[in-house]
């Protein structure tokens, strides 16, 4: 299963939409995995070991006339402890199977952030493989 976050409603873009567990950008000279661990702690209140599963490039038109053109390092890990999401970042959380997520995105795409829709549409096999590898570890 994949942890999803519903973005806080007052975010400057994509507020109230369901998205992947956590998003962020590295600071100058900050290693990618360290940036992911930092953002997971800041957004979800969770300290966990993360490893890179794969990379995904996308371009998406967002609300407010914004465009994202990003190379994403997809990180994976298991939560070790209770989640304590920052309400300025996250309005709610839920766990979903990849099959359930794909079905829900197909039936209600407007409920999901554009990048998550692209991850599922074009990267479902990579997501599934990364989650399977995590389970086997």
**DSSP letter for each residue of 83-136:** ----TTTEEEEEEE-HHHHHHHHHH-GGGB-HHHHHHHHHHHHHHHHHHHHHHH
* Distance, CA of 40 to CA of 56 (rounded, Å): 19
Cβ proximity of 62 and 12 under 8 Å: no
What is the H or E stretch that residue 33 is in?
helix 32-44
Which of the residues are catalytic?
23, 70
Among left, alpha and beta (phi > 0; psi -120 to 50; other), residue 21 is alpha
């Amino acid at each position: 299963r994949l942890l999803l976050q519903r973005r806080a409603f007052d975010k400057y873009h994509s507020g109230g939409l369901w998205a992947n567990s956590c998003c962020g950008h590295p600071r100058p000279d900050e290693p990618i995995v360290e940036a992911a661990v930092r953002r997971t702690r800041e957004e979800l209140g969770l300290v966990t070991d993360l490893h890179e599963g794969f990379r995904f490039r996308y371009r998406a038109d967002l609300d407010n006339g914004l465009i994202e053109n990003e190379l994403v390092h997809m990180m994976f890990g298991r939560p070790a402890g209770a989640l304590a999401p920052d309400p300025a970042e996250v309005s709610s959380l839920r766990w979903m199977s990849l099959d359930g997520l794909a079905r829900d995105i197909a039936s209600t795409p407007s409920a999901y952030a554009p990048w998550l829709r692209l991850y599922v549409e074009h990267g479902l096999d990579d997501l599934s493989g990364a989650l399977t590898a995590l389970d086997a570890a």
